[in-house]
């Protein structure tokens, strides 16, 4: 089975566990996600099935949209509600205070990842070092925050935000950085991903209603971005890895079809098409 399921992942399970559960429901052993969601987070988790798991690298750079709640006044070691409180007693900023610092965090910025993250330091995961109480520093990473808006004030210390950002952005770090700009502390207390690339929460399904019709086939996924080839071109492509046709269009990936059969996925390379995934 080749395709993608847009799962509305519930809070409380890891992305890998969610993938395995989708695979078990659909009877597909080869599964993988196209963008990790922390166990605490909920929302859009694209789950790839079969040979579509090889699409992972092509979805790494996709934009993502989140609804997040940040609670001010304290900070945990993980920067989210599941961590251990390490600093307490910070002040509660007003809506006006927060509005003044948000522009500083929009656009291209250098963000320091949380110490409880999968980043590697001298070959070891940062979260492993943090659990061992090893002192270390993480290097800032260049990211882009396209949109950062306060949606509402929930109470005197908790606010809800809309965030659209590049891949690699840590929403927990945004909470920390807003607070530090206001000389206080904050922790992410809720996170929902609304969009991951072109995958929207409105089109998602839950574990309770997943079935074969939930699977987005390669034809549905790529729509009109398809290359139709004949049998001779098909044989040549599978022998050489290249499709003997000039590259056209601006899309990153194209579906390759032999008559009505989806046979592969290609990308543009050096003026031609390069076959990157074989579906048959």
Determine contact, residues 263/234, Cβ cutoff 8 Å: yes
Owner of token pair 């927990």: 172
Distance CA 255, CA 262 (A): 7
126: left (phi over 0), alpha (psi -120 to 50) or beta: alpha
**What is residue 90's three-state secondary structure?**
coil
Determine contact, residues 150/163, Cβ cutoff 8 Å: no
Residues contacting residue 74 through CB under 8 Å, at least 6 positions apart: 85, 87, 88, 89, 90, 185, 186, 187
Distance CA 157, CA 113 (A): 24
Determine contact, residues 167/137, Cβ cutoff 8 Å: no
User: Where do runs of H (alpha helix) occur along 150-217?
Assistant: 171-181
Residues contacting residue 19 through CB under 8 Å, at least 6 positions apart: 31, 32, 33, 45, 47
| Catalytic site includes residue 155 | no
CA pseudo-torsion sign 121, 125, 129, 130: positive
Q: Identify each DSSP E strand in the chain by its residue range.
A: 3-9, 31-33, 42-49, 64-72, 74-76, 85-88, 107-111, 120-121, 124-125, 141-153, 158-165, 186-196, 199-200, 226-229, 242-246, 253-258, 261-269, 272-278
Residues with catalytic annotation? 38
């Amino acid at each position: 089975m080749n395709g993608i399921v847009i799962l509305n992942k519930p809070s409380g399970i890891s992305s890998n566990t969610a993938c395995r559960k989708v695979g078990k429901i659909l009877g597909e052993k080869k599964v993988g996600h196209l963008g990790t969601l922390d166990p605490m987070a909920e929302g859009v988790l694209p789950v790839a099935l079969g040979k579509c798991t090889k699409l992972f690298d092509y979805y790494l750079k996709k934009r993502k949209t989140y609804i997040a709640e940040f609670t001010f006044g304290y900070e945990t070691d993980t920067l989210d509600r599941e961590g251990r409180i390490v600093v307490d007693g910070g002040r509660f900023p007003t809506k006006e205070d927060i509005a003044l610092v948000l522009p500083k965090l929009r656009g291209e910025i250098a963000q320091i990842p949380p110490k409880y993250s999968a980043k590697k330091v001298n070959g070891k995961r940062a979260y492993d070092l943090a659990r061992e109480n090893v002192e270390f520093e993480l290097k800032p990473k260049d990211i882009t925050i396209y949109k950062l808006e306060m949606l509402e004030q929930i109470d005197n210390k908790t606010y809800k935000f809309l965030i659209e950002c590049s891949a690699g952005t840590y929403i927990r770090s945004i909470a920390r950085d807003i607070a530090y700009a206001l000389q206080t502390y904050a922790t992410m207390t809720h996170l929902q991903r609304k969009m991951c690339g072109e995958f929207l929460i409105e089109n998602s399904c839950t574990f309770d209603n997943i079935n074969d019709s939930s699977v987005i086939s390669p034809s549905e996924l790529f729509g009109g971005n398809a290359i139709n080839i004949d049998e001779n071109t098909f044989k040549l492509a599978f022998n050489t890895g290249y499709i003997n046709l000039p590259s056209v269009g601006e899309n990153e990936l194209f579906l390759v079809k032999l008559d009505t059969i989806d046979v592969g996925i290609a990308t543009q390379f050096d003026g031609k098409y390069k076959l990157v995934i074989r579906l048959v």
